[in-house]
Amino acid sequence: MEMYLLIPFSYVDVWILEVQDDESLRKWKEQLLGSVDLNTIGETLEPEVKFLSLSILSPGRPDIVLSIPENGRPRGSWFTLKEGSPYNLKFSFQVSNNIVSGLKYTNTVWKTGLKVDSSKEMLGTYSPQPEPYTHMNAQETTPSGIFARGSYSARSKFLDDDNKCYLEINYTFDIRKEWAAT
């Protein structure tokens, strides 16, 4: 009976071995990995993405920094936006263990049970590093008018290329004639 010695490889180790013969791919992957210490990655194949903060930025207003709920369901209305206001969403997150490929943000919004908006944005591919990454979405504008005001329910997700979900938040928010008092 033959015995084989199994040597553990991390995904990054295999990834590096795969590109040795392709110069342009090797350079791209070296750029992506940057100064990653391969010894700190270990044998974990799954990347870990931890979201540190979610914020809503609107010109001339203080940032609305949202606390990330442990169970993915904030109590009550999570935030209030003024109708017709421009805003950006800003995410801060940390990647560890391995490269997360094709991280994307999806958001679906309902009002009185009817889907009124659905969006998807590619955030990118990120290597593990101790410093957090920050991503800001393109500016959008809240709807306005009497029919736009009211309460909405929404679901936001952060998924990778394999549809692994790193954060899912189900929440409600309001659009009002004026900003909520701060």
Q: What is the pLDDT of residues 98-147, one digit of tens each?
A: 889 999 999 999 999 999 999 999 999 999 989 999 999 999 999 999 99
- Domain 48-176: CATH superfamily is Coagulation Factor XIII, subunit A, domain 1 (2.70.50.30)
CATH 2.70.50.30 range(s) for the chain read 48-176
Query: What is 127-165 written as a DSSP string?
Result: ---SSPEEEEPPPEE---STTT-EEEEEEEEEE-TT--E
Query: What is 56-82 written as a DSSP string?
Result: EE-TTS--EEEP--TTS--SSEEEEEE
- Find the helix packing angle between 11-18 and 23-33, rounded to 10°: 150
Q: Give pTM, 2 decimals.
A: 0.76
Residue 35: per-residue pLDDT: 53
Residue 70: per-residue pLDDT: 81
pLDDT tier at 9, thresholds 50, 70, 90: very low
Nearest to 78 by CA among 55, 98, 107: 55
Evaluate whether 154 touches 175 at the Cβ level (below 8 Å). Answer: no
pLDDT tier at 28, thresholds 50, 70, 90: low
Does pLDDT of 6 surpass 50?
A: no
pLDDT in tens, 150-178: 999 999 999 999 999 999 999 999 999 99
pLDDT in tens, 33-88: 655 555 555 555 789 999 999 999 999 999 999 988 888 888 889 999 999 999 99
